[in-house]
Structure 1
Amino acid sequence: MLRSLSGPLLSLRGRPSSSLLLRPLSTAFAPPRRHPTANDAYFAVVHHIAGIVRRDFYLERTLNRLRLPPPTPDLVLRVIRAAAPAAPLPALRFFSWARSRPSYRPSAAEFDALLLPLARARLWPHLWSLAADMRSLSLPLSPDSFAAVIDAYGRAALPDLAVEVFNRLPRFSCPQTTLVYNALLSALCHAGNFHGAYALLRRMARKNVPPDRQTFAVLVDAWCAAGKLREAQDMLEEMSQRGFKPPVRGRDLLIDGLVRAGYLESAKGMVRRMTKEGILPDVSTFNSLLEALCKSGEVDFCVGLLQDANDLGLCPDVSTYKILIPAVSKMGKIEEAFRLFYNAVDDGHKPFPSLYAAIIKAMCKAGRFADAFCFFSDMKVKGHPPNRPVYTMLVKMCVRGGRYVEAANYLVEMTEMGLVPRPQSFDMVVDGLKHCGKHDLAKRMEHLEVSLRGD
């Protein structure tokens, strides 16, 4: 088939150069296009055979009818890699068909390309049959492939089978490398067998198999997921002592776990160490810590922490500002709230009404009603229409500050925007207007409330 494809392609080279006259002037003197080569034809054959393997029910019969040249290890390997991830059993059938050809001698690479797809599809008997074939052919088994198989057992919640694979490897003359140990550690931790994970660590020490960064990362993730925060902290410390850079994801999980468990001081200390080392936590982890610290009243620490993180290149999201701006405003730090607000705008975030509301409320509490009304107008001008909660808050703050006329105006403005005020808002405003002698305006507000109710 390769000859039939390459023959016509080679004959194209014999065409007369007068074909240049048919080209546009801009391309007439350009370098001639490269004609398809035997390489292109080879990969076309690989693609065609892989398609047959994936889709043809009568696979062997179709392959025999194609009259293919004797298969080579390279051709078989490429077809398996193309077909096995989606169709491991048909790929195995193709491999068996290739092995039935007298001239084909398989290599370890073809076996390795099949082992992981079979493991992911949980076709365990076929997998072990392949491994036995490799041993009978005296082909070396790759630790990488069996590490992936062990990991597949772990993800399938079959830790006993993962241990069995691990224990079988010496019989197949396959070394138990650090990668294989890490895969089994992951499988044991995934099943919650931490006693077995500790025993495996001790075995690594006895067998002089050096742990690597991934070994500790697996354990830190597992301890955090199980809520074993003290063990996770100890593991991170041991990583640092051994000269490994602790994984950011593991630290993020630990910080999140400490926050959820209420160990805020430990979480703060870990974030401080990370920023000193120039390491940034994940934004969502950072936000969860900020939220917990703000609830505990450590707003100033959060503002400083955000500044340090910004200096290291952290890009805060809208949730970061949604946590900090209300917290800072509640403490009466209006200038700081404005700084954070405009930082959010500069970062490209569209401020939503609740961010405006927090600052407006803080200014009203401080008696800065003129500034609050101006900021509220700026909110509408900038294309952020206030919603019902913002209007309700502003009316309430005006009533508390004795600004009854302004409160009445905001109630009317609400109705003009199609927002229905709460009955309590009308009651507060009407009572306040009557108290300060504005009886005509109070009656108008009562009529407005009646018209809205439809009585």
Structure 2
Amino acid sequence: MIHASKKLSLIPCPSSALTGNAIISAVLRRLSTTKTTNDDYFAAISHISNIVRRDIYMERTLNKLNLTPTSDFVYRVLRSCHNSGVESLRFFNWAQSHPLYTPTSFEFSQLIQTLASTRHFESMWKVLQQMKTLNLSLTPHIFSQIIIEYGNSSLIDNAVEVFNRMKNFNCEQTVEVYNALLLGLCEVRNFHGAYALIRRMIRKGGVPDKETYSILVNGWCKAGKFKEAQGFLEEMSRRGFNPPVRGRDLLIDGLLNAGYIESAKEIVRRMIKEGYLPDVATFNSLLEAICKSAEVEFCIDIYHDVCRLGLCPDIGSYKIMIPAVSKIGKIDEAFRLLYNAIEDGHKPFPGLYAPILKALCRSGRFDDAFSFFSDMKVKGHPPNRPVYTMLIRMCGRGGRFVKAANYLVEMTEMNLTPMSQSFDLVTDGLKNCGKHELAKRMEQLEVSLRGD
């Protein structure tokens, strides 16, 4: 990993003074001291990056600044300009022209990733060749990224070529690299080639990981080939290569990713009927997909079924379900879920109890909402500004302007600054119901907070 300590020799300068070219002259000029702050250094990197991205006379501007590039300096600028392929290459060539700069694998790797992601493949290959000439090593991760970008561009033949040429760069074909090519083959629905690639991986001594299985199962499911996906999992199991997670969980995830929610639901129903449980990650994926399709009742039933069979939902399960059941007005069920989460050892946070508060206010149960909110302030995580803002808005809709004013004051006591719209809502409401003195106090509070 590259650290900020490996940066240019810098001079100390207050951050407030670093604007425009003053950043460059004060921070990036190579002098004898190294006492520049990190804030100054990264402000300078940002300034240089803007020049690289936007200045059509980049090289001339950089030359005028009398910079002495270092490995860390060049790497950070390249990373900051990862969406600008041509400009990054020009900057790297400019840096290489400096007699005191010698590039390392870090800068080359970052530039190669940038050129690949911006589809400048010809320039990318030239940089790769230059790296090879300098005897700098390339990691399998870089090649996997190149293969993925070729796959994203539907240039699968080129992706295969990269895979085959890795040996010329003395780079190992790791499982990550196999998975990258597998993803590209599945994207173009070349499942025969994809399965042949897995067989080659095994023949070469590789062991498929979860990603390997997920890519192929997702691809088959996306193409509607459910039997093929199931058959693949069964065959791999017979050959002794069981996936790191259970096959049916992979199949459910694949169906959900492909949008076949009913088919995924059917597998889960069958699993539960047979007494089997999905893992928590798969269960949460199922909950999220089904809640988005507004079939919250199914989620409630499936939640209770799996809990009876011994599944322990995690906090992610409750983050999905509590807002969903609250939104459709099932407040008692929302409370039940919240208390289950508390019994499981989770301390309620605003994202869990805010939906219940909103549902209570919508149903006109303001006294219950206020009591519940007080309870959460004691037993849960402190409310944040969005919770207060929502509660003030709901109080306004229900005509509870005095209570809303109290929450405004409470916010300020917690060092949370209310939005101007909240003050407008409360003061207008108080005036309309004859509470002019309290409205005046709210106006004075807003003025004191704004400093007007």
Q: TM-score band, normalised by the shorter chain?
A: 0.5 to 0.7
Tell me what 2:70 maps to: 72
Tell me what 1:284 maps to: 288
The code of the aligned residue for 2:277 comes to: T
When structure 1 is superposed on structure 2, of 149-158 and 278-287 the one drifting more is 278-287
2:88 match: secondary structure: helix
Alignment pair present for 1:128 and 2:125 = yes
The code of the aligned residue for 1:81 comes to: R
Gap regions ≥5 residues in structure 2 = 1-6, 15-33, 339-352, 367-452
Cα separation, partners in 2 of 1:99 and 1:38, compared to 1, 3 Å: same
Q: Report the Cα offset of residue 116 of structure 1.
A: 1.3
Deviations 1:108-129 (A, max 9, x none): 1111001111111111111111
Q: Report the Cα offset of residue 67 of structure 1.
A: 1.4
Q: Report the Cα offset of residue 38 of structure 1.
A: 2.8
Tell me what 1:232 maps to: 229
Tell me what 2:441 maps to: none
1:6 match: secondary structure: coil
RMSD: 4.2
Cα separation, partners in 2 of 1:271 and 1:37, compared to 1, 3 Å: farther
Cα separation, partners in 2 of 1:301 and 1:210, compared to 1, 3 Å: closer
Alpha-carbon distance in structure 1 between the residues aligned to 2:294 and 2:78: 51
Q: Report the Cα offset of residue 161 of structure 1.
A: 1.7
2:11 to 6, 10, 14: 6
Cα separation, partners in 2 of 1:342 and 1:134, compared to 1, 3 Å: same
Q: Report the Cα offset of residue 156 of structure 1.
A: 1.9
When structure 1 is superposed on structure 2, of 235-244 and 134-143 the one drifting more is 235-244
Q: Report the Cα offset of residue 72 of structure 1.
A: 2.1
Deviations 1:297-338 (A, max 9, x none): xx9889635766985353335766999x9xxxxxxxxxxxxx
Alignment pair present for 1:145 and 2:142 = yes
1:217 to 214, 217, 220: 214
Deviations 1:211-267 (A, max 9, x none): 222111211211221112123334555479636124967533336879667686544
Alpha-carbon distance in structure 1 between the residues aligned to 2:306 and 2:181: 39
The code of the aligned residue for 1:208 comes to: G
Alpha-carbon distance in structure 2 between the residues aligned to 1:259 and 1:86: 35
Cα separation, partners in 2 of 1:53 and 1:256, compared to 1, 3 Å: closer
Tell me what 2:255 maps to: 254
Alpha-carbon distance in structure 2 between the residues aligned to 1:7 and 1:184: 49
Alpha-carbon distance in structure 1 between the residues aligned to 2:271 and 2:284: 10
Cα separation, partners in 2 of 1:250 and 1:149, compared to 1, 3 Å: farther
Tell me what 1:82 maps to: 80
Tell me what 1:56 maps to: 55
Tell me what 1:343 maps to: 333
Tell me what 1:304 maps to: 305
Tell me what 1:181 maps to: 178
Tell me what 1:245 maps to: 245
Contact 1:290–1:302 (CA under 8 A) maintained in structure 2? no
Contact 1:255–1:270 (CA under 8 A) maintained in structure 2? no
Cα separation, partners in 2 of 1:59 and 1:381, compared to 1, 3 Å: closer
Alpha-carbon distance in structure 2 between the residues aligned to 1:171 and 1:231: 36
Contact 2:213–2:243 (CA under 8 A) maintained in structure 1? no
1:424-439 mapped onto 2 (5 Å cutoff): none
Cα separation, partners in 2 of 1:342 and 1:44, compared to 1, 3 Å: closer
Q: Report the Cα offset of residue 168 of structure 1.
A: 1.8
Tell me what 2:90 maps to: 93
Alpha-carbon distance in structure 2 between the residues aligned to 1:256 and 1:151: 19
Q: TM-score, normalised by structure 2?
A: 0.57
Alpha-carbon distance in structure 1 between the residues aligned to 2:304 and 2:166: 55
Cα separation, partners in 2 of 1:290 and 1:303, compared to 1, 3 Å: farther
Alpha-carbon distance in structure 2 between the residues aligned to 1:92 and 1:74: 16
Alpha-carbon distance in structure 2 between the residues aligned to 1:320 and 1:300: 12
Q: Report the Cα offset of residue 98 of structure 1.
A: 1.2
Alpha-carbon distance in structure 1 between the residues aligned to 2:265 and 2:167: 47
Tell me what 2:157 maps to: 160
Deviations 1:143-172 (A, max 9, x none): 101101111111222212211211222222
Cα separation, partners in 2 of 1:198 and 1:293, compared to 1, 3 Å: farther
Q: Report the Cα offset of residue 381 of structure 1.
A: 6.6
Q: Report the Cα offset of residue 270 of structure 1.
A: 3.8
Cα separation, partners in 2 of 1:161 and 1:271, compared to 1, 3 Å: farther
Deviations 1:379-435 (A, max 9, x none): 98759xxxxxxxxxxxxxxxxxxxxxxxxxxxxxxxxxxxxxxxxxxxxxxxxxxxx
Q: Report the Cα offset of residue 138 of structure 1.
A: 1.6
Alpha-carbon distance in structure 1 between the residues aligned to 2:325 and 2:232: 30
Alpha-carbon distance in structure 1 between the residues aligned to 2:152 and 2:116: 11
Cα separation, partners in 2 of 1:274 and 1:52, compared to 1, 3 Å: farther
Alpha-carbon distance in structure 1 between the residues aligned to 2:267 and 2:143: 39
The code of the aligned residue for 2:11 comes to: S
Gap regions ≥5 residues in structure 1 = 10-35, 326-339, 354-378, 384-455
Contact 2:185–2:191 (CA under 8 A) maintained in structure 1? yes
Contact 1:118–1:126 (CA under 8 A) maintained in structure 2? yes
Deviations 1:59-93 (A, max 9, x none): 11111111123x2222221221122x132211111
Alpha-carbon distance in structure 1 between the residues aligned to 2:363 and 2:65: 73
1:132 match: secondary structure: helix
Task: Give the number of the structure whose alpha-carbon radius of gyration is greater.
Answer: 1
Cα separation, partners in 2 of 1:109 and 1:293, compared to 1, 3 Å: same
Cα separation, partners in 2 of 1:194 and 1:205, compared to 1, 3 Å: same
Contact 1:259–1:288 (CA under 8 A) maintained in structure 2? no
Identity %, equivalent residues: 36
1:38 match: secondary structure: coil
Alpha-carbon distance in structure 1 between the residues aligned to 2:257 and 2:62: 56
Cα separation, partners in 2 of 1:268 and 1:258, compared to 1, 3 Å: farther
Q: Report the Cα offset of residue 48 of structure 1.
A: 2.9
